[in-house]
Structure 1
């Protein structure tokens, strides 16, 4: 079926089906992770396995077969340009380090952009049996239950997620933690930015901040947060910016101002 016959609803259904299937495949690798060959990318903390590559190939093949005019950006194999105005943005396994070390904090993240804006976001966390799903104007759900953020929750009465990696200095990370603590907040970091963005949409976290993150890590989460009633800082997508990193900030209504000050955004 050609892309022109596919609208938002059909792509949403497809994204959900593909993400669920990919989650099952990834879980199979996770349960047999002792046999995986682990490689490093930028540094010893940035790892990849055949599971990442096989899951991305599975998702890409189904998208290309059904929507050949759509673009596709995956963490492992880069950008395939499209002509339909839609671009799929996928992290086959976000949280590869927890994944290969036997911790359950990883997920499959599938987003669809339309003219640069996230209009579909699906995040599947197989170890937790959780499916987060959202589409523009259709709200956000967790296992079918509608998500709606509480505006009374702030950085002082809830928990903020943070992320860090070797793209930013230890001093920068230390300073952002200090500013959050000085403002009366507290934080967690679980190793998967996409999953923590889903937790913002679910109201488990009041916000998430990472000073440098890629589109495949955040676009699905952005859609979820927006559709649950939250806010996110715009991610640059012009030209080749979509394949480069940028600051990521998403928040529930009661935490937006505080977290923007902390992140200087």
Structure 2
């Protein structure tokens, strides 16, 4: 298990950097991209997303052909090894196509229904967040450990929203957080904001509906940095469906669970 995990962890880090370089090249010439919409005009995709996912899929297939693979753009391919890679090639496509740096490559690996590897690379900042089960979390090689004195009242919480939930729900969520003495940001990439929780930049992150490819890498990072996260259903076809996502530093967990009703 240790050897298998180490090999996949090293591969995930290498792939994230390579995929990030390809995505960054597209970002720097994004005016040439054809942008398509998915569920609505805010939910977009481009050839950059698809090419980056195909690059990651191919690298995983070459090294670990029996592993499963779930990507945002091309869905789930089952495996037989007990490991499943869960990937968002570009999380934050809306910031990406609009010329903002808040996007990332997110790579998680599941084993026995748990995220045991989480790697998030933010190319515009050249920052690599990496974690594996029992090995801790790092940012560019520096160990991440959460400060228990940080709360929703002396730090900032990240929030996310999309059209899977009503505007009224989102408004109430923000209102409840502010009434509790907190404040918030939203940067357009849930995966990157989860990485920020692990790094102590945010004290927590809440989104009422997210997919596995958006959150599982961040969940591994937060856990290994000493934080808490709400369980995400990964068994069977639940892995391809959305669910509430909440991750928090120790000093914010109780408040954010109460605000989110989780």
Q: TM-score range by the shorter chain?
A: over 0.9
Structure 1 runs of 4+ with >2 Å offset: none
- 1:178 to 2:175 alignment: yes
SS at match of 1:167: coil
Matched with 2:67 is: 70
Matched with 1:38 is: 35
Alignment of 1:15-26 (within 5 A): 15-26=12-23
C-alpha distance after superposition, 1:42-100 (max 9, x if no partner): 00000000000000000000101110110000000000000111000000000000000
Choose the corresponding residue for 2:57, options 33, 57, 60. Answer: 60
- 1:226 to 2:209 alignment: no
- 1:83 to 2:80 alignment: yes
Is there any run of 5+ residues in structure 2 with no aligned partner, and where? none
Alignment of 1:188-207 (within 5 A): 188-207=185-204
C-alpha distance after superposition, 1:197-247 (max 9, x if no partner): 000000000000000000000000000000000000000112210000000
Choose the corresponding residue for 2:144, options 137, 143, 147. Answer: 147
Q: 1:57 to 1:217 in 2, by over 3 A?
A: same
Query: How far apart, in 2, do the equivalents of 1:241 and 1:256 lie?
Result: 25
Q: Give the RMSD, CA atoms, in angstroms.
A: 1.0
The TM-score normalised by the length of structure 2 is 0.99
Contact kept in structure 2, 1:6 and 1:67, CA below 8 Å: no
Alignment of 1:219-258 (within 5 A): 219-258=216-255
- Number of matched pairs: 262
SS at match of 1:240: helix
SS at match of 2:107: strand
Q: 1:238 to 1:5 in 2, by over 3 A?
A: closer
Choose the corresponding residue for 1:134, options 131, 134, 147. Answer: 131
